[in-house]
Amino acid sequence: MRITDVVVTPVAFRDPALLNSAGVHEPYALRAVIEVRTDDGLCGLGETTGDENLLALLNRAASAAVGADPFDLIDLERRTAAAVGGHDSPDAHGLTGPSSAAKSLARVFSPFEVACLDLQGRATGRPVWALLGGKARERVPFSAYLFYKWAAHPGSPYPDEEDDPWGEALDPDGVVAQARRMVDLYGFRSIKLKGGVFPPEEEIEAIRALRAAFPDHPLRLDPNCAWTVGTSHKVAEALDGVLEYLEDPTPTIPGMAEVAARAPMPLATNMCVVGFADLPESVARGAVGVVLSDHHYWGGLRASHKLAAVCDTFGIGLSMHSNSHLGISLAAMVHLAAATPNLTYDVDTHWPWRSEDVVADNPYVFTGGSVAVPDTPGLGIELDRDELARLHEQYLRCGVRSRDDTAYMRRFRPEFEKRRPRW
């Protein structure tokens, strides 16, 4: 079997006005959909972020993949590296840590690797989890992912006046109401609050309100490096016994290590340990107790397995990070989570925030906060080509080309600055 054709399609889907330490989500989130076709008439699917600088590298890698054997992922990675040529493609929002040429290569390779694993599964009739070594669980548990948010985007950016059913959440009551709705709709059994938006005392109050309303749900708070080491110490002490982990309170590995030395709960990260090169220093300093893996950033599903082995070796917990995503990414996350025995925490997902998708009749349904692991070949999904075309049209029309939460926030609050730490 040989790859004959690779298509990279940028798409835009509606995203509510979700707040974070960098600013606010724009009305449209961007993704790139990868289709890898073979001379057998099969088509494998991958998905990743859709920023313009990454798209350019994805397109180069797509050309280089033509002629490759989808079962030879080592050759595919070599071809990808040659095509990317050491280029770095950092994010404007900086919410997934510092970039480097190696990390950019991992990002470019990931959706092609996923698409080839999907192809291998389709060709052999086996699910992707089986190709990764087996199924450690029948269901994958996810966490609710709460955001402070505006009731709607200012200035009605959508052609219709569609309501945002989630409403505003700018204080503890709003956060609890959002949690109720999300738990009622999806059955989540753990809850994460995206912080770094309001002064830490207010976010502590929101977590306490969640604890009172959901006494049995493990809770997490993630301010995306909005706090100094001193502030992080204070918040960690105030939330002793309340949080299962505190995520990225402060920037850098040395900063996290200082906080970790006194924090009563484990620290988690998707901002300071974001590639294999970050692991030795983090382990040596004891900076993090939990790594949030993300196959989009770590170089695919097999690389995420390597990360899991390192975490297991050093007694580090493993959870999974999420950005705004569609159904191809969800499928890949479910297969990876199914095949990772030491995934020790419920997985993050932005799923409840999206209202459009490129996957036809999505088979991945949330019940009791978890998703059943399918036994169907490959990723077990098909593209809805009409929706793919519509979301591509939406991409062409919407004008967003790279995610920039800070620039979008500054349109409404010109004095807003991206500062990490802020408090």
Residues annotated as catalytic (active site), given as ranges: 194, 321
Per CB under 6 A, does 18 bind ligand GKR? yes
Query: Which partner from the list Mg ion, ligand GKR, none does 323 bind, CB cut-off 5 to 8 Å by kind?
Result: ligand GKR
Per CB under 6 A, does 224 bind ligand GKR? yes
Residue (23 or 141) nearer to ligand GKR, CB: 23
Q: Mask: binding to Mg ion, 165-204, rule CB under 5 A, as x and -?
A: ----------------------------------------
Q: Measured between alpha carbons, how far is 308 from 133 in angstroms, rounded to an integer?
A: 13
Amino acid at 272: C
Per CB under 6 A, does 394 bind ligand GKR? no
Three-class SS string for 295-317? HHHHCCHHHHHHHHHHHHHCCCE
Per CB under 6 A, does 231 bind ligand GKR? no
Per CB under 6 A, does 96 bind ligand GKR? yes
Which residue from 35, 51, 203, 222 is in contact with ligand GKR, where contact means CB under 6 A? Answer: 222
Other C-beta atoms within 10 Å of 368: how many? Answer: 11
Query: Which partner from the list Mg ion, ligand GKR, none does 38 bind, CB cut-off 5 to 8 Å by kind?
Result: none
3-state secondary structure of 383: strand
HSE-CB at 76 with a 13 A cutoff on CA atoms is 27
Question: What is residue 271's DSSP assignment?
Answer: S
Q: Cα separations (Å) of 196 from 26, 116, 269, 403? A: 18, 38, 14, 18
- Give the total of residues touching Mg ion (CB under 5 A): 3
Mark the segment that binds ligand GKR (CB under 6 A) among 106-114, 200-208, 319-327, 382-390.
319-327
> Which residues in 221-260 contact Mg ion (CB under 5 A)?
222, 247
Q: Cβ 222 to ligand GKR, closest distance in Å?
A: 5
- Whether residue 157 contacts residue 183, with contact meaning beta carbons closer than 8 Å, is answered with no
* Non-local CB neighbours of 83 within 8 Å, separated by 6+ positions: 57, 60, 61, 63, 64
Per CB under 6 A, does 95 bind ligand GKR? yes
Per CB under 5 A, does 270 bind Mg ion? yes
> Which residues in 25-54 contact ligand GKR (CB under 6 A)?
none
Q: Measured between alpha carbons, how far is 211 from 218 in angstroms, rounded to an integer?
A: 9
- Whether residue 339 contacts residue 134, with contact meaning beta carbons closer than 8 Å, is answered with yes
- Whether residue 107 contacts residue 90, with contact meaning beta carbons closer than 8 Å, is answered with no
Helices 52-65 and 101-124 cross at an angle (nearest 10°) of: 50
Which residue from 20, 282, 329, 370 is in contact with ligand GKR, where contact means CB under 6 A? Answer: 20
Q: Mask: binding to ligand GKR, 257-296, rule CB under 6 A, as x and -?
A: -------------x--------------------------
Q: Mask: binding to ligand GKR, 192-221, rule CB under 6 A, as x and -?
A: --x---------------------------
- Whether residue 378 contacts residue 118, with contact meaning beta carbons closer than 8 Å, is answered with yes
Q: Which residues bind ligand GKR (CB under 6 A)?
A: 18, 20, 95-96, 194, 222, 224, 270, 321-324
